[in-house]
Amino acid sequence: MIDRVLLLLQERRYSELRHLLDDLHVADIADLFSEIEDRELMLRLFRLLPKESAAETFSYMDTDIQQKIIEAITDVELKIILDDMFLDDCVDLIEEMPANVVQRVMRNSSPENRKLINQYLQYPDDSAGSLMTNEYVCLKRGMTVADALAVIRRDGVDKETIELCYVASPDRKLQGEVSLRQLVLSDPDTPITDIMDDNVQFVHTHDDEEIIAQMFTHYDLLAMPVVDNEDRLVGIITIDDAVDVIQEENTEDFELMAGMAPSEETYLKTPVFTLAKNRIVWLIVLMFSAMISGALLEHYEAAIASLPLLVSFIPMLMGTGGNGGSQASTIVIRGLALGEIDLGDVLTVWWKEARVSLLCGTVLAAVNFLRIWLQYGEADVAAVVSLTLICTLFIAKSLGCLLPIAAKKLHMDPALMSAPLITTITDASTILVFFTFSLTFLADRL
Amino acid sequence: MIDRVLLLLQERRYSELRHLLDDLHVADIADLFSEIEDRELMLRLFRLLPKESAAETFSYMDTDIQQKIIEAITDVELKIILDDMFLDDCVDLIEEMPANVVQRVMRNSSPENRKLINQYLQYPDDSAGSLMTNEYVCLKRGMTVADALAVIRRDGVDKETIELCYVASPDRKLQGEVSLRQLVLSDPDTPITDIMDDNVQFVHTHDDEEIIAQMFTHYDLLAMPVVDNEDRLVGIITIDDAVDVIQEENTEDFELMAGMAPSEETYLKTPVFTLAKNRIVWLIVLMFSAMISGALLEHYEAAIASLPLLVSFIPMLMGTGGNGGSQASTIVIRGLALGEIDLGDVLTVWWKEARVSLLCGTVLAAVNFLRIWLQYGEADVAAVVSLTLICTLFIAKSLGCLLPIAAKKLHMDPALMSAPLITTITDASTILVFFTFSLTFLADRL
């Protein structure tokens, strides 16, 4: 596809190209731009887009492409695009651009949009306020279905969402929600208060993205109103933004849980240096914590020298502890993120993990005892290793479930208490338990 | 809340309770049922639900509660619920219930629904076919906007989705999509072919959930049509089901990536025995693989006996390798799941990870060299440990990025090639590299 587009662009076969673009979804047209290296060709393609879809295509583009295009087009062209864009997409754009581009965008926005953009930019990143749009239909209590449909027909073209309309009092307090569906299916003379839903789910401007993601999932919403501190309706969040938030929150958790700082861009677009920077901090922290395990091993040097066989069980013991701990922490972090586990469930969760660890520990210990006994014929060593396995798994699973809940309690992101950290902590405890048992039960041989 | 509901139920203060339920969202009412232990009280509450929302509330309940309610209500009540439920929710229900409940549900469904349910049940789990619903509005090419709105007003009440309507040819081939929004905003005499979008994104009945999740995210869809092998329109998938699929796919990846079999139920509802069963397989597999590292250590027993200090660096080296490898595998698995990384990017990704590993490796090696040199005054040991660190990180990051891509190529789930497996493999390679370097560069001391 991209080869054909490039060819047509280079040979200036514009009518063929327009025909080809006609058959593509705007999201796919936006993707084409990422694959064009040449700025001149990129600009040519942009100018070929039909007027009515240029702004929408622009909204779907990656940030770096948007910046290149803004830098290449004239002020007149930029003004047209900005006027056609939805306000929430415009705010997203400005949040990502460098200062000189932001200035140009602001200069070319209409005065009322400039005011709104400035207001939206004051909400914290990742809050409901920074996600919302003001392009929704607001109805008044006294209206009939016919009145409401007339308002929608008059104002609807410019609105991002008309599938759900909101009813507000004269002082802009949120009163209820009416769907376009109900309006179309109801008798024109019905008062909208008869069909409106007055139990609307809403969020406050400062509520966090994670809550928004949970509410959209839990209540199967298509859109959700946002109110300010005085409960006045100030905007709505639409499902397409909510889906993006859900995916971003998940990606952030995946990254944190693997011991990385979350990245702003997709992997292929993130420079090597940024990737390294995102990862090095945790690698250093964990390297230093792992030295504790090393220091413990040094402490038990004498025991190792008398029975070097002991060392060969350490990778297996540490590995099993680490894996058991990450299983528990992953499942608890995920449960917390989805709202399936609450802070109040801490004892239930721990008691569950304790029993799981004893079940798994017993099976692993039995397998291990047999293996070591058959391979080395040393029942006492086999017993010490198996006993350590059970204790290690119990400690690992307990830490794995308790630390994320504790983090949540302390208003930290539970995903920070994930596999790498738990593994490092259990490594040290594994060595401590193993040599304590060895020195106790194998004392005659050490 | 639940305490008040229980009190009102026990004291049979039904009018107060009805009043209280009026103010709740159906999703929250459904949650109340999970907290009632007593089957009799549960049934009383269910019978208090307003007729028009009983089926919807039922659809939001967890599977185990649905089963309890079906077992408690009469055939007449069951029939009413089933008639009011959307077909896709009904199919979901049947997929989860034990055989005797399924028989009762089927016996009480209308003959046409029974036929459709049987047909839907034949699609593979997690396919577009098993997710879709037939409750959408189908329009014909020749219609005007007024005709279309008349069809919607006539048939729309029973349809799950009317916000997007689909245009099909007489032989049921999908022709295009018209939104309710466009219909309401257009002149009544306009032919729908003038406003319909004929570039509709669609999936086939056998397409996998992951593709559906990617398409909804990429194209910001509210609904997507499903066609059969002959391109005939057979159903649609709605955004609420797509959001559930996105969350389920993510949860499955989290679980696989922590070395667990994915679970069907939420954590708190999964029995301890099932949790243990989901985890034990990987724990055993990884325990046996970790024994390779143990065997390698045994092989180097003589070196360890001559210079026991070496052992104390092993946890740090293995830990850093494991963490570096999981960082790479996590980011690549996530990129593959979101469609940001393709199979064709394998060299780009590897080259990126190679440079990241050298950057991170050099920093870690420098810190380490200083630490060991200052603490033990042994520059040769410090050099061997630092060199091992760089190599280990390079191997770990290479495996971490290549194994998930290889898995995808072999049509396996990339999430299987995750932290625990990569950690175990790099553990063995770390020990091999460390002792090879030690025996080479510290030969005079071993």
A326 in B contact zone (CB under 8 Å): yes
Q: Is the CB of residue B219 less than 8 Å away from at least one CB of chain A?
A: yes
Pairing of strands A203-204, A223-227: parallel
Query: How far is the alpha carbon of B140 from chain A, nearest alpha carbon, in Å?
Result: 19
- For residue A291, the chain B residues in CB contact (below 8 A) are 316, 371
Nearest in space to B180 (alpha carbons), one of A135, A162, A238? A162
- What is the reported pLDDT for A105? 87
Q: Cβ atoms within 10 A of the Cβ of B92, count?
A: 20
Minimum CA–CA partner of A325 in chain B: B258
Give ipTM to 2 decimals.
0.81
| Chain-chain contact of A280 with B247 (C-beta, under 8 angstroms) | no
> A60 and A33 in contact (C-beta within 8 Å)?
no
Task: Kindly report the nearest CA distance between residue A1 and chain B, in angstroms.
Answer: 16
Contact (CB<8Å) B304/A301: no
Please answer yes or no on whether B320 and A163 come within 8 Å at the CB atom: no
Q: Please tell me the distance in Å from A338's CA to the nearest CA on chain B.
A: 9
Nearest CA in chain A to B159: A181
Q: Tokens 């009544």, residue? A: B188
Q: Which of B287, B300, B364 should we substitute to test contact with A (largest number of A Cβ atoms within 10 Å)?
A: B287
Give the pLDDT score at A207.
92
Question: CB of B192 within 8 A of CB of B164?
Answer: no
Q: Say whether A331 and B260 touch across the interface (CB within 8 A).
A: yes
Instruction: Report phi then psi at B282, rounded to 5.
Output: -65, -35
pLDDT, residue A388, reads 96
Phi first, then psi, for residue B162 (nearest 5°) are -125, -5
The confidence score (pLDDT) of residue B145 equals: 94
| Residue B293 forms contact with A (CB below 8 Å) | yes
Contact across the interface for A319 and B286, Cβ inside 8 Å: yes
Q: Which of B 67-86 lie inside 8 A of A, CB atoms? A: none
Q: Is A108 in a helix, a strand, or coil?
A: coil
- Cβ contacts (< 8 Å) between B304 and chain A: which residues? 304, 308, 311
User: Residue A250: CA atoms inside 13 Å, Cβ hemisphere, count?
Assistant: 24
Subunit contact B330:A255, Cβ cutoff 8 A? yes
Interface test with A, best of B184, B199, B266 (most A CBs within 10 A): B184
For chain A, say whether B180 makes contact (Cβ under 8 Å): yes
Whether residues B244 and A326 touch (CB distance < 8 A) is answered with: no
- Residue in B267, B333, B360 closest to A341 by CB: B267
Helix (H/G/I), strand (E/B), else coil: A53: helix
Tell me the residues of chain B between 79 and 138 that have a Cβ less than 8 Å away from chain A.
none
Long-range contacts of A387-390 (CB under 8 A, 24+ apart): A387/A437, A388/A317, A388/A430, A388/A433, A388/A434, A388/A437, A389/A317, A389/A320, A389/A361, A389/A364, A389/A365, A390/A358, A390/A361, A390/A362, A390/A364, A390/A365
Q: Is B76 exposed, middle or buried (0-12, 13-18, 19+ CB in 10 A)?
A: exposed
H runs (alpha helix) in B300-378:
301-306, 314-337, 346-376
Output the six-digit token pair for A94: 């400005």
**Angle, alpha carbons A310-A315-A316 (nearest 5°):** 90
In chain B, which residues have pLDDT < 50? Answer: none
Strand order from edge to edge, sheet including B174-179:
B136-140, B161-168, B174-179
In whole angstroms, what is the distance from residue A395 CA to residue A390 CA? 9
Whether B211 has its CB under 8 Å from any CB of chain A: the answer is no
Residues of chain A with C-beta less than 8 angstroms from the C-beta of B291: 315-316, 371
| Rounded Cα–Cα distance for residues B44 and B21 (Å) | 13
Q: What is the pLDDT of residue A389?
A: 95
Q: Could you tell me which chain B residue has the CA closest to the CA of A152?
A: B185
Q: What is the DSSP letter of B262?
A: P
A254–chain B Cβ distance below 8 A for any pair = yes
> Across the strands, what pairs with B173?
B232
Q: What is the C-alpha separation between A436 and A232, in angstroms, rounded? A: 64
Does A343 reach chain B within 8 Å, measured CB to CB? no
User: In this complex, do A311 and B304 lie within 8 Å of one another by their Cβ atoms?
Assistant: yes
Count of other CB atoms within 10 angstroms of residue A52 = 8
Mutation target vs A (from B56, B195, B312; most A CBs, 10 A cutoff): B312
Structural contact between residues B237 and B203, judged by C-beta atoms closer than 8 angstroms: yes
A116 closest CA partner among A235, A237, A224: A235
Q: Give just the sign of the alpha carbon dihedral A88, A93, A99, A104.
A: negative
B268 in A contact zone (CB under 8 Å) = yes
Please answer yes or no on whether A239 and B218 come within 8 Å at the CB atom: no
Cβ–Cβ gap B335/A424 under 8 Å? no
Would you put residue A144 in left (φ > 0), alpha (ψ -120 to 50) or beta?
beta
Contact criterion met (CB below 8 Å) for A104 and A78: yes
Q: Which pLDDT score is estimated for B207?
A: 92
| pLDDT score for B94 | 86
Q: What is the DSSP string of B11-28?
A: TT-HHHHHHHHHTS-HHH
Point out the residue among B250, B297, B329 whose CB comes nearest to the CB of A315. Answer: B297
Cα–Cα distance, B437 to B396 (Å, whole number): 17
**Quick check: B327 and A279 CB within 8 A?**
yes
Stretch 296-325 of chain A: residues touching chain B, C-beta under 8 Å: 297-298, 301, 304-305, 308-309, 311-316, 318-320, 322-324
Q: Which among A301, A315, A334 is the nearest to B251, CB-wise?
A: A334
DSSP β-ladder status, A136-140 and A161-168 = parallel
Cβ pair B219:A180 closer than 8 A: no
Contact B267 A349 (CB under 8 A): yes
Residue ranges of chain A with pLDDT lower than 70?
none
Cβ separation of B254 and A286 shorter than 8 Å? Answer: no
Smallest CA–CA separation between B29 and chain A, in Å? 11
What is the H or E stretch that residue B412 is in? none
The two three-digit tokens of residue A227, written as one number: 């109110």
* B338: nearest CB among A247, A286, A424: A247
Closest CA to B145 of B192, B197, B193, B196: B192
Closest partner CB to B268 (pick from A246, A309, A340)? A340
Q: With a CB-CB cutoff of 8 Å, which residues 406-445 of chain B face chain A?
A: 419-420, 423-424, 427, 431
Tokens, residue B131: 């997710």
